[in-house]
């Protein structure tokens, strides 16, 4: 048969396949999300995320060292406080859980790049990502008692669960305050995940005013209201007590809206744009990559992790191969940065030549 062009010529052996590979992965592109909990001597497995743990500050070093040994030098901190209130004041408390973790990590692991999630949902008693409309203007004290805070049932009754809305503009001040507190404690980068309009501009202005001109912002610009977040909400105790987050997170039917969100955040000063979740939204990674000139991140979220672990435990899939394939799919779509609970495993696979 007379064929001049034979694509299979470049697939003949492993050396050649790697030589012509279009997508390459390096451990420096990986970020590991880590949950830090109040208390001491804590390393507790997350039931919905087998192999993932909540760590107290005094034990998080075990995981940070393990990551560094594997070649992963970047982490994203998520805090789990003991006390919560309607205004999420633990998020910006000087001695909050993330602030303590940052100071300790900076001392013990100066080579680790520390990124913080900037949101209110882990710190509010109602589980929403900001101050609720109609809630008191005064910020409750960080360690207010359960009695003084009141129950979630009372809050829901007062506001009406079907009409719960987050007050966008009042929340901006608290997000900016949180980002500044993280920078003061040692954060190398802040990552707002709340999806409030204008939060990147508010955070950038606050950081600059406090002298943190060189602290980058990685914006969760294209964050969809997704069922893939379920295990994370269990891990962080951040599920809404009533209502849902569809009034501020994006409708997963929409793609042009995601481009609008990304362009707005770049205009406001975002240094990196994130698409979340990853697996089912890689079309958005590609589209955002085409219209912006900033690095693109995607977050392989808890539901993706849990599905892979469950399938592997049942013997339905090859865990190692699925981890590699899903990671490469994100980079092939256009990711420059990949947040994943499999960061350590992927780094090892890169070292072993199984991926990369």
Alpha-carbon Rg for the chain, nearest whole angstrom, is 21
Nearest to residue 142, comparing CAs of 79, 216, 215? 79
Cα dist from 249 to 44, 236, 244, 277, 354, whole Å = 30, 18, 9, 12, 36
Q: State the catalytic residue, choosing from 223, 289, 309, 348.
A: 223
Angle at 329 between CA 326 and CA 334, to 5 degrees: 140
Tell how far CA 22 is from the center of its chain: 27
Residue 223 appears among annotated catalytic residues = yes
Nearest to residue 341, comparing CAs of 296, 311, 304? 304
In contact, 125 and 85? CB cutoff 8 Å: yes
Tokens of 174: 């608290």
Handedness of CA 273, 274, 278, 281 (dihedral sign): negative
Nearest to residue 331, comparing CAs of 278, 280, 291? 278
In contact, 125 and 108? CB cutoff 8 Å: no
Q: State the catalytic residue, choosing from 276, 289, 309, 348.
A: 276
Tokens of 72: 């992963």
Residue 276 appears among annotated catalytic residues = yes
How far, in Å, CA of 201 to CA of 218, rounded? 12
Residue 320: burial class (beta carbons within 10 Å; 0-12, 13-18, 19+): middle
How far, in Å, CA of 328 to CA of 281, rounded? 14
Nearest to residue 178, comparing CAs of 79, 278, 51? 79
Q: Which residues contact 80 (CB under 8 A, 6 or more apart)?
A: 35, 36, 37, 38, 54, 97, 122, 236, 237
Tokens of 121: 């949902």
Q: Could you give the residue numbers annotated as active site?
A: 223, 276
């Amino acid at each position: 048969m007379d064929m001049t062009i034979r694509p299979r010529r470049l697939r003949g052996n492993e050396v050649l396949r790697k030589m012509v590979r279009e997508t390459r992965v390096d451990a420096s592109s990986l970020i590991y999300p880590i949950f830090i909990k109040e208390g001491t001597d804590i390393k507790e497995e997350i039931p919905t995320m087998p192999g993932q743990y909540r760590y107290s500050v005094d034990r998080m070093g075990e995981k940070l060292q393990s990551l560094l040994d594997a070649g992963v030098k970047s982490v994203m901190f998520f805090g789990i406080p003991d006390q919560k209130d309607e205004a999420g004041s633990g998020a910006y408390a000087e001695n909050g859980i993330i602030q303590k973790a940052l100071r300790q990590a900076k001392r013990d692991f100066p080579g680790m790049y520390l990124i913080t999630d900037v949101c209110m949902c882990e710190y509010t008693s109602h589980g929403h990502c900001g101050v609720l409309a109609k809630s008191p203007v005064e910020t409750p004290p960080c360690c207010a008692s359960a009695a003084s805070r009141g129950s979630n049932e009372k809050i829901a009754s007062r506001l009406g669960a079907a009409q719960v809305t987050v007050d966008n503009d009042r929340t901006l001040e608290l997000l900016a305050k949180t980002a500044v507190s993280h920078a003061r404690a040692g954060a190398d980068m802040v990552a707002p995940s709340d999806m409030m309009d204008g939060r990147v501009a508010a955070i950038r202005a606050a950081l600059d005013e406090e002298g943190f001109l060189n602290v980058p912002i990685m914006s969760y610009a294209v964050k969809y209201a997704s069922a893939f977040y379920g295990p994370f909400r269990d891990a962080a105790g951040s599920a809404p007590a009533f209502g849902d987050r569809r009034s501020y997170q994006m409708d997963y039917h929409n793609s042009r809206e995601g481009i609008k969100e990304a362009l707005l955040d770049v205009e406001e000063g975002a240094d990196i744009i994130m698409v979340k979740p990853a697996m089912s939204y890689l079309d958005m990674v590609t589209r955002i990559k085409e219209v912006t000139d900033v690095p693109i991140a995607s977050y392989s979220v808890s539901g993706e992790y849990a599905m892979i672990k469950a399938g592997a435990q049942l013997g339905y899939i090859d865990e190692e191969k699925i981890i590699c394939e899903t990671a490469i799919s994100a980079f092939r779509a256009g990711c420059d940065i990949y947040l994943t609970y499999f960061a350590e495993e992927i780094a090892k696979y890169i070292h072993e030549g199984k991926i990369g």
